[in-house]
Amino acid sequence: MSTLEAATSTTTRQDTAWQVCIQPDCRSTYGIDEILVACPKCGNLLDIGYDWDRLEVPSSLSEFEARWSTRRNPLDFSGVWRFRNLLPFAPEASIVTIGEGQTILRESNLISRYVGLNDSNVLLQYEGLNPSGSFKDNGMTAASTHARMVGAKFAACASTGNTSASLAIYSSAAQLFNALVFVGTGKIAFGKLSQALDYGAHTLQIAGDFDDALKQVREVCQREKIYLCNSVNPFRLEGQKTIMFRVLEALNWQPPDWIVVPGGNLGNSSAFGKAFLELKDLGLIDRVPRLAVINAAGANTLHQLYNERSVRWNDGRTDDATIDGFFAQMDAENRRASTLATAIEINRPVNLKKCLRALDACHGVVRQVSDQEILDAKAQIGAGGFGCEPASAASVAGAKLLREEGIIAPSDQVVCILTGHQLKDPNATVAYHSSTNGEIDSKLAAHGIDSVTFANGPVVVENELDRILDVIRSL
Ligand code: F0G
């Protein structure tokens, strides 16, 4: 039996995996059979910890390549579970997979030039290719697996749309639990809402935004003993680590110089940081890439705390008075997140502390970009042969900004994560391309868009062959 086979044939994980509080002064541990979204002792976030010494870990990441030849096994086909030795909390029989993680890392000369880097130095990690069209499936397969392990019959989430689409698809495909999703009225792009409805999720539209919906769903889950699938669920983030494993795989296991990711609830950035910390500790990589987390300017809590108030991980001793004071003032002023990048329209990122830890581990930076910068970057991403929703384009807009500031060098290799598919939010795309510099769509204008440099609007033409030919010949 090969090393990797031995590692995954275990039927119980109780003794080699546990839940552990991230707070260094607490570090309380709990069994993986418990349903927790915060440390019962101190209220901080939980991680999944492993007894790596007793688990079979590959001696080199390239050992995972052996699984390419056994892709008929659904666990080896999955872009998440083929790395199961690096998230070993589940017995194989419990794993819920729908073929997630068949995503690609591709270079783009057009985007490299747009960002200001040497040709092919920007690589786009296209997570929109997941079954529900966003990176969330990486996490939802892991959360669904844990839900199955604990016998959950109902699973819930609050969402700006993608988490709900992902939970809904896993619920309908696996038929193991019912999905209950909370979304803010008018706060979710139509493509995403249509998914939750079509996959049969019980969908509650709350008269509020994501922050309101999350507050409510947390309360509901606690009272009704419903399994919560937001990224406060530490099992979900285990699945999201694999986005980084696939990036490394595509780069022949060599870390790039930069990972650039949009920041909303900060689950991805947190998961990426944990992934690199673990790989480094296990001796599987010798250096970690730098991490850039990009907020939309209209939902910029991380930027505010990190850049304006210098809040840092500080070995787990975060400046909670400053954080609490920031949120108290936000509430007092009733300040609400507002951005066309609705997926990251979040003012209370629940994974803030884990993200601070990731920024510390990956020598990170935080930036904010305007909706104008996001939509322009998005149009260039489309023109370059990809296609993403607005929030995803924050990564490219952020890389461009960091290049302009001289923080990213022209020769750096930069991986931007495209978190969600273009078809999630066709309204924003059509509104941009249908606008002209003289006449901006009113919804875009309301978010400060005053130019559409890369608009590719439809040509309106009469239903007459000669007129149509005139247009074509003038191209
Ligand atoms: N990009 C997209 C397309 C998203 O849907 C989200 C989050 C993010 C980026 C931000 O990622 O929270 O890990 O920092 N969407 C959540 C949802 C909140 O409900 O679908 P994060």
Instruction: For ligand 1, say whether the CB of 420 is within 6 Å of any of its atoms.
Output: yes
Q: Average per-residue pLDDT in the chain?
A: 96
The answer to whether residue 419 is domain-embedded is yes
Q: How far is the CA of 270 from the centre of ligand 1 (A)?
A: 12
The Cα–Cα gap between 57 and 386 comes to: 35
The answer to whether residue 371 is domain-embedded is yes
Contact yes or no for 356/313 (Cβ under 8 A):
yes
pLDDT at 205 over 70: yes
Starting at the edge strand found earlier in the chain, the sheet holding 46-50 runs 29-30, 17-21, 46-50
Only one residue has tokens 């699984």, namely: 67
HSE, side-chain direction, 13 A CA sphere, residue 386: 34
The Cα–Cα gap between 145 and 401 comes to: 39
pLDDT score, position 186: 87
Contact yes or no for 164/260 (Cβ under 8 A):
no
CA 263 to chain centre: 8
Confidence of residue 187 (pLDDT cuts 50, 70, 90): confident
Which atom of ligand 1 is least distant from the CA of 391? Answer: 1
HSE, side-chain direction, 13 A CA sphere, residue 403: 24
pLDDT at 9 over 60: no
pLDDT score, position 6: 45
The answer to whether residue 85 is domain-embedded is no
Confidence of residue 178 (pLDDT cuts 50, 70, 90): very high
Instruction: For ligand 1, say whether the CB of 395 is within 6 Å of any of its atoms.
Output: no
For 420, residues 6+ apart whose C-beta sits below 8 A from its C-beta are 127, 128, 133, 134, 135, 162, 343, 388, 389, 391, 392
Instruction: For ligand 1, say whether the CB of 85 is within 6 Å of any of its atoms.
Output: no
The answer to whether residue 448 is domain-embedded is no
By residue count, the chain amounts to 475
The answer to whether residue 418 is domain-embedded is yes
Across the range 29-50, mean pLDDT stands at 97
Residue 155 main-chain phi, psi, to 5 deg: -130, 140
Strands (E), 160-215: 178-184, 202-206
The answer to whether residue 407 is domain-embedded is yes
Structural domain including 297 reads 104-131+236-426
The DSSP-derived string for 96-119 is --SS----EEEE-HHHHHHHT-ST
310: region left, alpha or beta (phi > 0 left; psi from -120 to 50 alpha): left
Which of 217, 419, 421, 429 to mutate to test ligand 1, by most ligand atoms within 8 A of the CB atom? 419
Closest CA to 242 of 115, 408, 78, 65: 78
pLDDT digits (tens, 9 = 90+) for 423-473: 999 999 999 999 999 999 999 999 999 999 999 999 999 999 999 999 999
Instruction: For ligand 1, say whether the CB of 344 is within 6 Å of any of its atoms.
Output: yes
Q: How far is the CA of 264 from the centre of ligand 1 (A)?
A: 6
Read off the tokens for 348: 């209370």
CATH of the domain at 127: 3.40.50.1100
∠ Cα 269 271 273 (to 5°): 70
Provide the domain count of the chain: 1
pLDDT at 112 over 70: yes
The Cα–Cα gap between 375 and 435 comes to: 12
pLDDT > 90 in the chain, percent: 96
Q: Whose CA is nearest to atom 11 of ligand 1?
A: 264
Confidence of residue 11 (pLDDT cuts 50, 70, 90): very low
Read off the tokens for 165: 């689409």
Across the range 209-216, mean pLDDT stands at 94
Residue 274 main-chain phi, psi, to 5 deg: -65, -40
pLDDT digits (tens, 9 = 90+) for 350-395: 999 999 999 999 999 999 999 999 999 999 999 999 999 999 999 9
Contact yes or no for 212/206 (Cβ under 8 A):
yes
Neighbours of 152 (CB within 10 A): 21
Helix (H) or strand (E) holding 166, with range, is helix 162-174
282: region left, alpha or beta (phi > 0 left; psi from -120 to 50 alpha): alpha
Only one residue has tokens 């439809």, namely: 458
pLDDT score, position 12: 53
pLDDT score, position 10: 43
The answer to whether residue 417 is domain-embedded is yes
The Cα–Cα gap between 160 and 184 comes to: 7
pLDDT digits (tens, 9 = 90+) for 249-297: 999 999 999 999 999 999 999 999 999 999 999 999 999 999 999 999 9
Read off the tokens for 382: 């489309």
The answer to whether residue 267 is domain-embedded is yes
Instruction: For ligand 1, say whether the CB of 347 is within 6 Å of any of its atoms.
Output: no
